[in-house]
């Protein structure tokens, strides 16, 4: 995975401040947390700062959010450098691609996706393409292992990729007509490719009173009601000792 470093000084703005609208939004976010826990709002506030700054989080924004929440700069920096949702260097205007490089994706062909990034964007991560539209990085697991290999672009995942289908995804962003997120093969979310493969007999789901149905499964409306909890059941009466 790429090292989590902030951008060089020449890319860092000298100042950052929320717009008035974002100040109001941030105050409402802080109210969601109990007294004494307001600093827990750091993640949504830094996420909004990143959005306001064009898709990446500069050091000035990290310090601004820390001051907004009354916390030490180093603690805010710890959060920003830990989560890959925070992009610490300038990114492409049209798409920043986060390629999953953990074991399931590697086994399913992620190396081909890295090759596409090297050829179409730049050889090194966080180098913006010559046209300024694209950038990429390697990240750890993005939670779609069953649909590996996959990438995250902004807020959406693109899954079940090949070098060709990944190229189509990039073409869509280049033309400002992104393809539909999710699996790029014939599957619905993480369902089996090609559709259901088990429990496909219609009789399994028929009412027992339906003509022709035998040994039908119990329907929800006929399911046995749960019994009382163990600690609420009536204890059995004690057994009297036998008389001698």
CATH of residue 34's domain is: 1.10.10.1590
CB 201 within 8 A of CB 126: no
CB 125 within 8 A of CB 99: no
Provide the whole-model pTM: 0.74
Q: Output the six-digit token pair for 44.
A: 């949504």
Question: Cα angle at 119 between 171 and 168, to 5 degrees?
Answer: 20
Domain holding 137, by residue range, is: 95-183
The total number of structural domains that make up the chain: 2
* 206 domain-assigned: no
Q: 39 and 73 share a domain?
A: yes
CB 158 within 8 A of CB 142: no
CB 193 within 8 A of CB 183: no
> Can you tell me which residue has the tokens 């798409």?
95
Q: 99 and 179 share a domain?
A: yes
Query: In 71-201, which ranges are E strands?
Result: 95-100, 134-139, 151-153, 156-159, 182-183
pLDDT string in tens for the chain (244-residue length): 557 889 999 999 999 999 999 999 999 999 999 999 999 999 999 999 999 999 999 999 999 999 999 999 999 999 999 998 999 999 999 999 999 999 999 999 999 999 999 999 999 998 999 999 999 999 999 999 999 999 999 999 999 999 999 999 999 999 999 999 999 999 888 888 877 778 888 888 886 655 554 555 556 666 666 676 666 665 555 565 666 5
């Amino acid at each position: 995975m790429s090292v989590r470093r902030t951008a060089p000084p020449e890319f860092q703005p000298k100042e950052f401040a929320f717009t008035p609208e974002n100040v109001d939004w941030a105050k409402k976010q802080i109210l969601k947390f109990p007294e004494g826990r307001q600093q827990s709002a750091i993640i949504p506030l830094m996420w909004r700062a990143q959005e306001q700054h064009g898709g990446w989080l500069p050091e000035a924004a990290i310090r601004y959010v820390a001051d907004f929440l009354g916390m030490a700069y180093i603690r805010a920096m710890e959060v920003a450098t830990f989560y890959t949702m925070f992009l610490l260097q300038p990114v492409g205007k049209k798409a920043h691609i986060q390629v999953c490089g953990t074991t399931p994706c590697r086994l399913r062909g992620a190396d081909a996706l890295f090759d596409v990034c090297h050829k179409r964007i730049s050889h090194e991560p966080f180098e913006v393409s010559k046209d300024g539209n694209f950038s990429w990085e390697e990240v750890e697991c993005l939670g779609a292992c069953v649909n590996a290999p996959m990438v995250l672009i902004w807020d959406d995942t693109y899954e079940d990729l090949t070098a060709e289908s990944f190229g189509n995804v990039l073409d869509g962003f280049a033309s400002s007509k992104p393809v539909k997120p999710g699996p790029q093969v014939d599957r619905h979310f993480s369902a089996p490719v090609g559709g259901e493969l088990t429990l496909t007999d219609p009789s399994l789901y028929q009412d027992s009173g339906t003509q022709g149905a035998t040994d039908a499964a119990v329907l929800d409306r006929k399911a046995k009601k749960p019994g009382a909890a163990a600690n609420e059941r009536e204890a059995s009466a004690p057994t009297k000792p036998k008389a001698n």
